[in-house]
Amino acid sequence: MKPEPSILVIFGATGDLTRRKLYPALFNLWREGLLPRDFAIVCVGRRDISPSELYRDASDAVHNFSRRRGHSQQELDAFLQRLSYYQLEFHDQQGYGGLKDYLDQVDGIWHTRGNRVFFLAVAPIFFSIISRQLKDHGMTKNHDSWQRLVVEKPFGQDLASAISLNRDVRSIFPEENIYRIDHYLGKEMTQNIMVIRFANTFFEPLWNNRYVDHVQISFAETIGVETRGTYYEQAGALRDMMQNHALQILSLIAMEPPVALDTESVRDEKVKVLRSLKILEDDVVRGQYEGYRQEDHVAPDSQTETFVALKATIDNFRWAGVPFYLRTGKRLPQKYVEIVISFKRLPGVLYFENEDLGPNVLVIRLQPEEGVYLQFNAKRPGTASMIQPVSMDFCQNCHNGLNSPEAYERLLYDVMRGDSTLFTRWDEVEHSWRFVEKIARWWEEGDHPLPVYAPNTWGPPASHALLQADGRSWLRFMTGEV
């Protein structure tokens, strides 16, 4: 299914997301012939920007942040012709009438048939305001055309605000036309998780508590909060990463095989996982990196966590008894995202010369490398019957000339095609918030320490103790244990 003619309306077009992600992604889609011939981009922002400034900003974004190089000026100029700018203060009700008239003009020029994608690259406080004004000014009718709404994370600041926000948005757009972005779902290797599981005979039969010892999911960042102090004080690592990215990846790893690969069947299975998640109060660790309180727009006595590690279980027949260890943090030694599936150790009765027969391990890497690493046991060369771990390593973005599409390329392409498989449905968001709010409530009501950890370390010692209590440790392959 190819994208139909449409206008992409970007609210918050002068922001960092548009510059770093949306402009480069749209240009790459255009360059590869994946956008319809009848297509336009209307950038909406509060600043007064001339057409030449808009083109310069978009050109700089493509030059600085696009994954692809070597484009011609002719290609770029053809893309820029489809961009235009409309100045709007988001609280200005009268301005939306002018926006409607402007979109109708663009529709006539580019023959987009009234189809619109409204991308809200703005703070969540504007989601309801903008959606309401779009409806009040007749821009969400869905008669003989379609209108879709794309919202960025975070979808609410807690469960109550998420429910309220969802009620506001759902009163205007039907659920099937709401696209809640989690950009990790657009990553190439994230999409590969289901293929690895369900398209390989030797994985799926082992994907259960009979053979899997435990699962680790790590989201590690080397940077601090940088210029996002105001936002991070509201969110923290729990809401910023764990509530969406980490739990979404967990649900893909743990879900049952769907009855089909259509959008709703996949989402149904993910929701079942999120509903089955269990956690104990003592199985959560938090921390704050040294120097966080001196960052811009951060309170000097801030109690916001920049690191979270936890152990959760899934209360169903497939995964009963298997711990899932999740961690996310800032100012850590390495930047990477990976999933480690550690299989149960075999009894050593046949190989008594090896007291420690290592487990089989499957590693799915999401970034910076994209690929799969499999560790298994084999005989060491020589006369002695010694066993050693060996590996098979596939990296799909390590070779020259192979540059995987950015997540936003796939996500924008899917929005325009009307495919919401890689976007989160409301009940996924709701159950993620219910799980996270339980943890947040423990921290608010109980006496839970917030230890400070040194930058360039792997978080507070309690994070390691969490696994050591179970006879395990955090794993990082290629660089060993951490």
Which sequence positions are flagged as catalytic? 245
Q: How many residues are there in the chain?
A: 482
Q: What's the one-letter identity of residue 221?
A: E
Cβ contact 261:252 at 8 Å: no
Q: Cα(46)–Cα(58) distance, rounded to whole angstroms? A: 17
**Based on the number of CB atoms within 10 Å of its own CB, is 113 exposed (0-12), middle (13-18) or buried (19 or more)?**
middle
| Chain centroid offset of residue 312 CA | 20
Q: Of 470, 369, 333, 416, nearest to 147 (Cα)? A: 416
Residues 6+ apart with CB under 8 A from 199: none
**For residue 156, what are the CA distances in angstroms to 88, 149, 151, 379, 453?**
24, 16, 11, 54, 29
Q: Cα(226)–Cα(46) distance, rounded to whole angstroms? A: 24
Per-residue tokens: 232: 């991070």
Q: Cα(222)–Cα(375) distance, rounded to whole angstroms? A: 27
Q: Cα(72)–Cα(56) distance, rounded to whole angstroms? A: 16
Tokens 């370390």 appear where?
457
Cβ contact 419:3 at 8 Å: no
Per-residue tokens: 452: 């400070």
Strand partners, 379: 387
Per-residue tokens: 448: 């839970």
